[in-house]
Amino acid sequence: MTTNTSSLSITRLAAHTDRPERFMGLHFMNPVPVMKLVELIRGIATDETTFATLQGVVARLDKTGTVSEDYPAFIVNRILVPMINEAVYTLFEGVGNVASIDASMKLGANQPMGPLELADFIGLDTCLSIMGVLNDGLADSKYRPCPLLLKYVEAGWLGRKTGRGFYDYRGEDGIPVPTR
């Protein structure tokens, strides 16, 4: 059995099954058809056979697997979501607007999309949830969600899936327009 969770404890999920030794995390990056990476996360009880079998599945899917310990948000989201949160703080504090923050990271850090555009793609509610897992699991103030992220989620501005987030996607021409 597997889960594609992006941040929840594999050990905790496995404990609710009758075969925790045969349970593991396979975190596929989104969009799955395009992204090559899959994080392989073992729970404390995951056995070697299960791990080897799922490594083989990932290889047969022509994906690259990385191994992460069962720790809050694993590798990718442990690094990515705090960066997104920092971009939201940068917006919240008036350091830059949506367009300048995203352009700075695309052109200055060679990222395919800016962090606010990426947050809209992921879903602001999902980003907030992962920040909550990090904040609760690691008890470090650097994982405190930005108040602006909370406000957007409270407003129902969740990104692409609702038509509005850091960009407004509801225009007739299909061109996203920054909301700040």
Residues noted as catalytic: 27
Contact predicate 29/38, CB 8 Å: yes
Contact predicate 3/43, CB 8 Å: no
Residue 132 corresponds to which tokens in the numbers above?
């909550």
Give the bridge partners for 65, in sequence order: 38
Residue 43 dihedral angles phi and psi, to the nearest 5°: -80, 170
Q: Which DSSP string corresponds to 20-69? A: GGG-EEEEE-SSTTT--EEEEEE-TT--HHHHHHHHHHHHHTT-EEEEE-
Give the bridge partners for 172, in sequence order: none
User: Measuring CA to CA, how many Å separate 42 from each of 1, 2, 14, 72, 100?
Assistant: 12, 10, 10, 13, 39
